[in-house]
Amino acid sequence: MTICWIGSDKEYIDYITDYAARLHCRIPKDSSLLTCMDDDGTPIGFGAILATKEVADIAFLYVPEEHRRKGIGTQLLAEMENMAQQVGVTDLRCIVPNDTESLLFFTAKEYELCEGPREYAVPFASLRYSEAYRKNIAGKTAKKAKALESCSDKEKKVLQQYYDKHGISATDSFDKKLSAAIFEGEEARCLLLGERTASGVIIHYMHSDKDHPELLVDCLKVMDKAITADREDISDLMLSFATGNEYEQSLLRHLAGEAAIVEEFSRYSVAYRNVGDRVKL
């Protein structure tokens, strides 16, 4: 087995980025990528790290099930830790799925674990059949909002400026059919960014003018149309969203209705380690 840094090889960069996206992981722009190759040159493990002056974020670390328990993940992690030290960064951080295998892996590597960001989740069926949602969104045609897949080149440039301004990265993993925006002149006035998962849809980002909640409702019409167009049975779908923005929380809670079961949970933990005193390999 050989650990290889990808450098500027676009073919491998696209391969790893697409592989991560299929696993619902967004690799930030300017990350350093690496892979583990078997003796035949086949990639059997992947990693990505983004180092700043203060901290190095392990953005992606994955080994397919059939290649696990061979030390591949350990080698990839050690290589990223050494890379961080070489550029003068000793604090490492990683967002870790809350499954037993992942948590045990980082605990064994002397990482400290703390609870990740909280999310809300509501069954999409109960949301869609609530009175407020039926009245304002379900089956309705958006008046101003448009799906990101239908944006013009000019609008895509406006979106990119918005992403850069607000630190939104790895936007290729957002679903362009259910993500939506409203443009006014040279600005994106309202934006909803969503991603499909095996269990439903995650709304990663919602923003609109607080004085005009109808703009966000218009974007939700685009999302609703995309979800229901692809799937007739929505009984087992969940809609989850971050708990950080009280305005968007209150809007979705209003749409869901008082009787809706809204769960609060943490999908991820944050693994942290300082490797400043460790001898480099």
Instruction: Phi first, then psi: give them for residue 156, nearest 5 degrees.
Output: -65, -35
- Distant-in-sequence, close-in-space partners of 149: CB < 8 Å, separation ≥ 6: 176, 177
Last residue of a domain, one of 72, 89, 106: 89
Instruction: Dig out the tokens for 179 from the structure.
Output: 């993500």
Instruction: Phi first, then psi: give them for residue 97, nearest 5 degrees.
Output: -60, 145
**CATH number, domain containing residue 79:** 3.40.630.30
- Are 206 and 76 in the same domain? no
SS3 34: strand
Residue 111: what pLDDT?
A: 95
- Are 138 and 211 in the same domain? yes
Provide the domain count of the chain: 2
pLDDT(265) > 80: no
pLDDT(139) > 70: yes
Q: 9: domain range?
A: 2-89
- Are 158 and 243 in the same domain? yes
SS3 183: strand
Please check whether residue 248 lies inside any domain of the structure: yes
| Tens digits of residue pLDDT in 200-211 | 888 888 887 667
Beta-carbon count within 10 A of 149 CB: 12
Lowest mean pLDDT among 6-10, 36-40, 111-115, 194-198: 194-198
Instruction: Phi first, then psi: give them for residue 21, nearest 5 degrees.
Output: -60, -35
Mean pLDDT of 126-148: 88
- Are 69 and 160 in the same domain? no
Q: Which helix (H) or strand (E) holds 58?
A: strand 56-62
- Are 7 and 81 in the same domain? yes
| Tens digits of residue pLDDT in 244-264 | 666 666 666 667 666 566 777
- Are 68 and 151 in the same domain? no
pLDDT(135) > 80: yes
Task: Tell me which amino acid residue 113 is.
Answer: L
Residue 281 — pLDDT band, cuts 50, 70, 90? Answer: very low
Beta-carbon count within 10 A of 160 CB: 13
Q: Report the interhelical angle of 213-230 vs 246-256 (nearest 10°).
A: 60
Evaluated on CA atoms 123, 126, 131, 134, the torsion sign reads: positive
Q: Is residue 241 within 8 Å of 205, Cβ to Cβ?
A: no
Residue 21: what pLDDT?
A: 77
pLDDT(221) > 90: yes
Residue 277 — pLDDT band, cuts 50, 70, 90? Answer: low
